[in-house]
Amino acid sequence: MHRSQGYGVAVLSLTLAAAGCAAHAQVPSPLPTTQTRRVPLAVTADSLFWRTFRAGAYDSIPQSMFLLKAAYLQNPTDPQTAVHIAFLHAWKVSERARLAQVPPTIIDETTLARRYFAQAQKHASAYDARSHGFAAAFQMSEANIHRDTALWADGLREARKSIAAWPEFNWFTVGYTLSGHADTSALFAEAIDMQWKTLDACARAPIDRVNPISAASALATEADPRLKRACSNTWIAPYNVQGFFLNMGDMIAKRGDPVLARRVYALAKEAKGYATWPYAAMLEERIRDAETNVAGFRSGRAKMMVASKAACTACHQAVMR
């Protein structure tokens, strides 16, 4: 049993009594939307969430989800609990490449991720551009499943609003979502442009789009808390910079420029902590296979970061397994 799995079982056995109604799947009485208190179980659930997510323990998602939803039933107006539930649903569907066989029911994870991100945004004490951006991204993904063009267009409108509110964070979020579009599409071109805009904004100066040698340092030295969260490695995303350049390199390779893709991939090596990054070997393979990945990414035979086992954990996994 993985360490986080053992922890999860112990926590569940100790806290089911505290969860009360959750053990019997009872629906609690409606709570006022202004309620912001955190129930004790939510704090315990948070701890398990972070242990699971930072360990990259994909197989332990059910244990963490169980505890978070037990806490959610006690207080569905807690935005932190809601956003952690959303991230688990998002992680489950985003890294479905880990599954030996992907069931058709995986599409429900997309719908639930969108719903809980929206719930987190709704009950946040102040406007939450991060949850807004994620909710919009998963709305677009949900619309693709249902082939609902109106829902997709509304999701894109909401995505653009989230970018206006927090460009440095949501240019990446939205561009990452759009990276699955065809390499010849206007949306894919815009998605790449969003990555360059992120670098420009984080550097507070234009980055050379042919030879971006200063880009890594731009993402490593930011002191402003808002920009630091989006532009640097943090406790929440200990390999944020490495994951950013892995994805950006994939997008540029898909566009058909393996030379520039290699330059962008190489920037990940300059970021602090590269030697301990769990996905360094993946990056090295990308550098080696940049030419062949052009066709591979376009056809889907090769998995870009957004569709890989590292779609979330390339940035968030903190330890080797």
Averaged confidence pLDDT in the chain? 88
218 occurs within a structural domain: yes
Question: How does DSSP classify residue 208?
Answer: P
Residue 295 lies in a domain: yes
Identify whether 312 is part of a domain: yes
d(CA 130, CA 187): 21
Q: What is the pLDDT of residue 195?
A: 97
Classify residue 172: in a domain, yes or no: no
22 located within any domain: no
**301 domain-assigned:** yes
Q: Is residue 288 part of a domain?
A: yes
Give the pLDDT band of residue 302 (cuts 50, 70, 90): very high
182 dihedral zone (left: phi>0; alpha: psi -120 to 50; beta): beta
Residue 17 belongs to a domain: no
Q: How many distinct structural domains can be found in the chain?
A: 1
Q: Which two tokens stand for residue 123?
A: 């009950």
Residue 218 pLDDT: 63
Residue 222, domain extent: 182-321
Give the residue from 100, 110, 16, 9 showing the smallest Cα distance to 60: 9
Q: What's the first-to-final CA gap in the chain, in angstroms? A: 13
The angle at the Cα of 267, spanning 264 to 272, to the nearest 5 degrees, equals 155
Per-residue pLDDT tens over the stretch 184-234: 999 999 999 999 999 999 888 899 999 998 776 666 556 788 888 899 999
89-124 pLDDT per residue, tens: 999 999 999 999 999 999 999 999 999 999 999 999
| pLDDT at position 53 over 80 | yes
Residue 258 makes CB contacts below 8 A (sequence gap 6+) with: 290, 291, 293, 294
Give CA–CA dist 14/23, Å, rounded.
12
Q: Higher model confidence: residue 27 or residue 262? A: 262
Percent of residues in the chain assigned helix, strand, coil, to nearest 5: 70, 0, 30
Residue 303 vs residues 77, 184, 284, 306: alpha-carbon distances, Å: 37, 18, 15, 8
Query: Where does the pLDDT of residue 304 fall: very low under 50, low under 70, confident under 90, or very high at 90 and above?
Result: very high
Convert the pLDDT of each residue in 237-293 to its tens digit: 999 999 999 999 999 999 999 999 999 999 999 988 999 999 999 999 999 999 999
Note the pTM of the prediction, 2 decimals: 0.87
